[in-house]
A and B are shown apart, each in its own frame.
Chain A
Amino acid sequence: MNVSYQRKRYWNEPTLTAWERAYLPEIMRGLAVTSTVFLRNMWRWMTGRKGALTTYYPEETRVDYAPLNRGKHVLTQRPDGKPQCIACNLCATVCPAKVIEIEAGFDPTDVAHPKFPIRFEIDYSRCIFCGLCVEACPEDAIRMARETPDLPTGDRHRMWLGLEEMLTWQPQRDVAKPYPPAGDKATAGGLP
């Protein structure tokens, strides 16, 4: 048995210069780098700026959300201010997190849309912001705005978004669907 241990040689063995092999100068360089960053950030902090790019989330919100950001849910409205939602429950059915709860009401005076939501609630403690509810809606009644919901709270039972908050959105400013609609056909379209 004449087995002597031989360390494997790799084709890309790391090469250190004598300066790097001396170790101490490189330590000094590393310490200089970290302490420079430290002092620079401290100086920025002392002069009222921020060293880190981090946003203090609940206190500060980012301004650079994308225009198509899937944020807070909004319900579009008819010209008379009622929700465009017909309480068909498609969004609640497609929702993978099962966070949408709709209670339907019946309004015999509105012949075109007799079914409307009395209660429309979303549990934001479980919502995953996938946007499937927006995709599923046949009436373009639910959309996701660019703004984020005011989520952070100490109590998860307060993270429900109700009908009132979702109807605050002003559809007049929406370029995709101008209000009031061009013809009466659009509003009367449902029943023959």
Chain B
Amino acid sequence: MTQDLSVALVFIVYAMGMLITFGTVLTWVERKQAAVMSDRIGANRAYIRIPFTQFKMIWWGLFHGIADGLKMMLKENFQPRTYDRIAYAIAPWVVFTPVLLVFAVVPFGGTLDPGRLVPALADWFDGRTYPMQIARLDAGLLVVFAFSGLTIIGTMLAGWSSANKFSLLGGLRAGSQMISYELVMGLTVLGLILLFGSIDLGAIVRRQSGIALGFLPAWGIVYQPFGALLFLTAAIAENKRIPFDLPEAESELIAGYYTEYTSMKMGLFMFAEFIEIAIIGALFTTLFLGGYNLPYMSDAGFTLPGGITLAMSHGAVVLTQLVVFLVKVLLVCSFQILIRWSLPRFRYDQVLAFAWKFMLPLALINLVVTAVILWSHGGSL
């Protein structure tokens, strides 16, 4: 019991640390990548000076995220004269908390055997193993959609309680857009659920560890390329980023539903958006890019074609899996940022028409085709 709790605590600390770090670093990555994409230099001035020396750690401006956070905390906490103070105060938290909670069911590594990792603790752990995942829920994907659906309430609360027409418009737009794309997102994943026969994210990742068609990794994106594309599009729309950032379209609505928020309350909205980039990256990695799996890699090491095996110690395997997961997530995040800085914004009617008239039929077709192919193969590929 104590063993389980301590391992769970370590996982929670790791996951929180990872998400907060991603949220902070992504603010820098976004600016820097946008700058490099457009032949500029980008954020490079913030630094930390080591006390009592003149040595400045600039590191290409990596500390701009910290500077931003500090600035947000030191800003004046302006409050509008709203009649609904409670809703106004809790709205940022209603947006921020579910975003963190989603990660609870995402596996970020394979199976951990603490006894083998630290031989001194072998007796205490008594051969117990833990999949690296905070909550081993067999309803994994349902939990993901349940929590990510909660953020809609937060945005609508913020838009409603700000007593501002721009906020209200932004909240309305956020509500209708997110509900539409939530539906599309769910439908695109259905094909994958049919294919893998499970909604437990851990099981889905384990099903992607093999080789498909002889040479490709058996990742979801190989079986469901259209599903992957639709899922990523719907997820970006769900996160309300350009080209779908109608709820906060700054040229029309100032800042949309968080116009009336200042200081760290506004910072929480921004931070939630950046963490959600990482969450989308983690979900896409888990569902379509094989999670922590590398091709030809198993818990014992690499088994390359031709019978060559590379044995790895348990610690090396765990470390490789963690790093592989992080790298994949970072690549997907980078791709989202690439999209955000390449495409122009849709018009509002186009966004909703895109969801209902284009994405939804495509998702349904994807589902039907998957079901038919699976049926003709007798239930599984």
Contact = CB atoms under 8 A, between A and B. Distances in A.
A89 interface: no
Contacts of B35: 52
Interface string B11-48: 00000000000000000000001011111110010000
A37 B39 CA distance: 8
Contact of A41 (B39, B339, B341): B39
A39 to B, nearest CB: 9
Nearest to B33: A38
B343 interface: yes
Interface stretch (A7-15, A27-35, A94-102, A160-168): A27-35
Interface string A49-79: 0011110100000000000000000000000
Nearest to A53: B39
B40 A54 contact: yes
B121 interface: no
Contacts of A35: 37, 338
A33 B343 CA distance: 11
A42 interface: yes
Nearest to A38: B37
A54 B343 contact: no
Contacts of A33: 342
Contact of B342 (A30, A41, A42, A45): A30
A54 B44 CA distance: 12
Contacts of A27: 342-343
Contacts of B37: 34-35, 37-38, 41
A31 B339 contact: yes
Nearest to B44: A56
Contacts of B40: 52, 54
B125 to A, nearest CB: 44
Contacts of A51: 36, 39
Interface string A177-190: 00000000000000
A54 B342 contact: no
Contacts of A42: 36
Nearest to B40: A52
A139 to B, nearest CB: 43
A38 B36 contact: yes
A41 B343 contact: no
* Residue of A30, A33, A38 ringed by the most chain B CB atoms within 10 A: A38
Nearest to A44: B36
A140 B41 CA distance: 42
Contact of B41 (A30, A34, A54): A54
B39 A52 contact: yes
Contacts of B41: 52, 54, 56
Given A35-B338, A51-B39, 12 more contacts: A30-B343, A31-B338, A33-B342, A35-B37, A37-B37, A37-B38, A41-B36, A41-B37, A51-B36, A52-B35, A52-B40, A56-B41
15 contacts: A27-B343, A30-B342, A30-B343, A31-B338, A31-B339, A31-B342, A34-B341, A37-B37, A37-B38, A41-B37, A41-B39, A45-B36, A52-B41, A53-B39, A56-B41
